[in-house]
């Protein structure tokens, strides 16, 4: 028996960035048209289960669904955690490591970056969001929210536009212009509460904030695993490569480096992508596959060209690439 299974195929690009070797990234989703819409959009499958037929064991079975983890790059995963991202004082979406810029630049502060901080919890982040909504109804809301983000790293993009709207309305009502008297604080608070209620469209605040903070059995801070490409290859390796190239050019040794790179044996590399002419010409525009290959050979190329400290750095990076990310990128 042959069955035809029609599919609804959805495709869209998720980035408009265009570089020398990278165009728009397209995501493709497919839906089985044979399934009714109420099954495709069933919200409580995790509670009541989905009954189906096991063709191998020839018996009816029930499927229970659960979220294992959420994949993505660092900015998206930070957004999923209601976190402000890597540029804030408390830059980690998983724990509360960090403090002010001045502290992190001190000897003690720099060391503290490499020690895990107190783990974040979904309940704690949700409570911080509620606190921001409480402060938005009082005077000085702008500074209070900025202080909250700076001291916690918490920023909920889902309800962020609501906060911004209420803050701007508060400024408008409290401002005293020519011939216009500012409204009393109690009256402003009542107006803002009414506006907030309208923006929430009758929903409770807990129903409007990031729903991932309330998924049973799922910790969004723990279950957003580090994305290797941008964190390691396009992070540590990319910037260490940039500094190494700067030193080579400053010492007028880039030609010697290029000659060695062109002559090195590539058979044993895990990802033999060493187009020497391209790498040296577009040294500032390389992508992940280039850095994966370079990390494996750099110690052999620069051992007598750059300081020992730089060589030691590349040795550590090489061990990191081979031991920790090989299984993800092969």
pLDDT at 13 over 70: no
pLDDT class for 330, splitting at 50, 70, 90?
very low
**Residue, of 31 and 59, whose pLDDT is higher:** 59
Nearest-CA neighbor of 195 among 175, 47, 206, 187? 187
* Burial class (CB within 10 angstroms; exposed 0-12, middle 13-18, buried 19+) of 72: middle
pLDDT class for 329, splitting at 50, 70, 90?
very low
Provide the mean pLDDT of the chain: 82
Q: How many CB atoms lie within 10 A of CB 319?
A: 11
3-state SS assignment for residue 69: coil
pLDDT at 161 over 70: yes
Residues of 40-70 as b/e, b for ≥16 C-beta within 10 angstroms?
A: eeeeeebeeeeeeeeeeeeeeeeeeeeeeee
Model pTM score = 0.66
User: What is the rounded (10 degree) CA torsion for 310, 313, 314, 317?
Assistant: -160
DSSP state, 35? S
């Amino acid at each position: 028996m042959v069955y035809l299974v029609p599919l609804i195929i959805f495709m869209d690009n998720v980035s408009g960035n265009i570089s020398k070797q990278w165009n728009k990234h397209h995501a493709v989703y497919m839906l089985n048209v044979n399934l009714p819409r109420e099954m495709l959009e069933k919200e409580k499958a995790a509670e009541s289960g989905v009954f189906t037929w096991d063709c191998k064991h020839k018996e009816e079975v029930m499927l229970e669904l659960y979220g294992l983890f959420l994949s993505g790059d660092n900015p998206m995963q930070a957004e999923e955690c209601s976190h402000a991202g890597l540029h804030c004082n408390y830059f980690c979406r998983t724990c509360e490591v960090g403090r002010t810029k001045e502290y992190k630049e001190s000897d003690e502060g720099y060391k503290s970056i490499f020690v895990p901080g107190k783990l974040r919890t979904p309940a704690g982040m949700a409570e911080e969001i509620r606190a921001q909504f409480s402060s938005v109804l009082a005077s000085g809301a702008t500074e209070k929210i900025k202080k909250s983000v700076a001291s916690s790293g918490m920023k909920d993009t889902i309800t962020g536009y609501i906060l911004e709207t209420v803050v701007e309305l508060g400024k408008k009502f409290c401002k005293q212009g020519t011939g216009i008297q500012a409204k009393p604080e109690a009256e402003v608070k009542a107006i803002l509460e009414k506006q907030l209620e309208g923006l929430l469209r009758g929903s409770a605040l807990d129903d409007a904030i990031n729903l991932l903070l309330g998924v049973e059995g799922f910790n969004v801070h723990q279950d957003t695993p580090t994305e290797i490409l941008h964190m390691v290859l396009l992070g540590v390796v990319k910037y260490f490569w940039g500094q190494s190239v700067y030193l080579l050019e400053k010492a007028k040794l880039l030609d010697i480096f290029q000659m060695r790179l062109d002559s090195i044996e590539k058979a044993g590399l895990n990802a033999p992508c060493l187009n020497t002419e391209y790498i040296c010409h577009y040294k500032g525009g390389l992508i992940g596959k280039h850095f994966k290959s370079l990390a494996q050979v750099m110690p052999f190329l620069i051992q007598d060209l750059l300081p020992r400290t730089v060589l030691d750095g590349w040795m550590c990076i090489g061990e990191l690439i081979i031991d920790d990310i090989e299984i993800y990128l092969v």
